[in-house]
Homo-oligomer: A and B are copies of this chain.
């Protein structure tokens, strides 16, 4: 593998996402670089379509061989999937307390995070990988790690702590982004490995 071939750029403004992805990539022997990029985002209910177009635009405009972009969402079942693809906007405007207020007196508290990682090379059509983590909403925020809605989300397969009470390694054992990024890494290694 040429050194340049193994270098993948992650187009994102979010350093927390980059830190999580970098850890997964390094486990697969993939070198992940940060492309500080104002993501081009369409309004769409489907995070895969959002991530795919973002990766194509970023890779075309940056002229990099290997670019990934991510879109993720936090989906609350009782709110018909809200805030979904608009999670970062909703987090900025309403915070975790807005979600908890909307969920006041609601007993069905299932929620999930979903992540779509799209890969594009110089603007060509993306290949997309998805990951999901199911869990439930707690009644008050707990923990100070992670970002976004992490303090109110308890993954089902965890030990009762919220995402914000875990360190990156613990969160990556469970997280939607790690699952999606792991799928991408497996695919990338198979397609761009030793020639």
Chain A interface residues (CB < 8 Å from chain B): 40-43, 45, 50, 79-84, 86, 89-90, 92-94, 98, 101-102, 104
* Number of identical monomers bound together in the oligomeric complex: 2
Instruction: With both chains docked as a complex, state the minimum distance between the C-beta of A105 and any C-beta of chain B, in angstroms.
Output: 9
Interface of A is mostly: mixed
Alpha-carbon separation in the docked complex, A42 to B93 (Å): 18
Instruction: With both chains docked as a complex, state the minimum distance between the C-beta of A76 and any C-beta of chain B, in angstroms.
Output: 9
Task: Name the B residues within 8 Å of A94 (CB-CB).
Answer: 79-80, 82, 102
Task: Name the B residues within 8 Å of A43 (CB-CB).
Answer: 41-43, 50, 86, 89
Alpha-carbon separation in the docked complex, A89 to B86 (Å): 9
Contact of A102 among B42, B81, B83, B102 (CB under 8 A): B102
Instruction: With both chains docked as a complex, state the minimum distance between the C-beta of A60 and any C-beta of chain B, in angstroms.
Output: 16
Residue of B nearest to A54 (CB): B43
Alpha-carbon separation in the docked complex, A101 to B98 (Å): 9
Task: Name the B residues within 8 Å of A40 (CB-CB).
Answer: 42
Contact of A82 among B42, B84, B93 (CB under 8 A): B93
Residue of B nearest to A44 (CB): B41
